[in-house]
Amino acid sequence: MTIRLEGPSLPPRDGAAPSVLICLLHGLGADGADLLPLGTAYQTVWPTAAVVAPDAPFPCDMAPFGRMWFSVRNLGRDTRRQGVRLASPIAAAFIDAELAKRRLPPSAVILVGFSQGAMVALHLGLTRRPPPAAIISHSGLFADDELRLPDDPGWRPPPILLTHGEADAVLPPSCLDETEGALRARGLQPEVHCLRALGHGIDPATLSLGLAFLNRVSKGGHG
C-alpha cells in the first residue's frame, strides 16, 4: 500500500517561480501546520523558496491527536533505526512529487526537521542521491548508527546545521554530542549550537541561527 503525504504549503514570497523547496518535518504528536511559521520566516531570507510541511504518515500512538513518523513506545536504538528507515522513503516520495510539480531538480530541496522529524531529515538527507541543498536538525538525533554515506564519487555532503536546547528534557543535550560525533566520524562537518536554557523547542535564537545558515546557503556558501 502506497502512503501519500499531505500538508500545508507556501508559494514563493516574491510570486516568482520557485528556486528551491524547503521541506519541514514536524515532531511527534504534531502536524505540518506546527512548523509552517518557520517557512514564513525562512522566506524572508530566501524569497524564491517554496515551502511544504507534510503531516507525518501515521496517527500518533502516544496521544489522541497529532501524527508520527514512526512509533517510539520503545526508545531503543533498533526502534529508531527501523523507524527512520521506514519513514525516509515515504518522505522522499512526497518530496520528489513536490519537486516535480514545481519543475525543480532533485537536489533543490532543503530538509528541516524538529525532534523526530529531525531524525528523519538527517537520515533522508544523508542517503539521498543527489544530496539535498542543506539539512537543518533542531532538537534531533542521528538515529541510524549503521548508516553509510553514498559511495558515489559524485556525491557531496550537504551543509548541515544542528541545534539543541541545553535544558532539553525530551532528548537531552547528550543527543547533540552523539549526533555531532556520528557525523564527524563519517567525515562531515556540521555547524553545531547548544542553546543555553532552551528546552525541547525552537526559540528566537534558534530561528536566528537557521536564518543565518539559510542565508549563507542561498548565496552559495556552505552553511
For the stretch 62-103, pLDDT in tens is 878 899 999 987 767 888 999 999 999 999 999 999 999 999
Give how many domains the chain has, as a whole number: 1
CA R_g for the chain:
16
For the stretch 180-219, pLDDT in tens is 999 999 999 999 999 999 999 999 999 999 999 999 999 8
Print the domain residue range for 101.
9-218
Is residue 2 included in any domain, yes or no?
no
Is residue 132 included in any domain, yes or no?
yes
Is residue 18 included in any domain, yes or no?
yes
Question: What's this model's pTM, rounded to 2 decimal places?
Answer: 0.96
Is residue 4 included in any domain, yes or no?
no
Instruction: Return the CATH number at 18.
Output: 3.40.50.1820
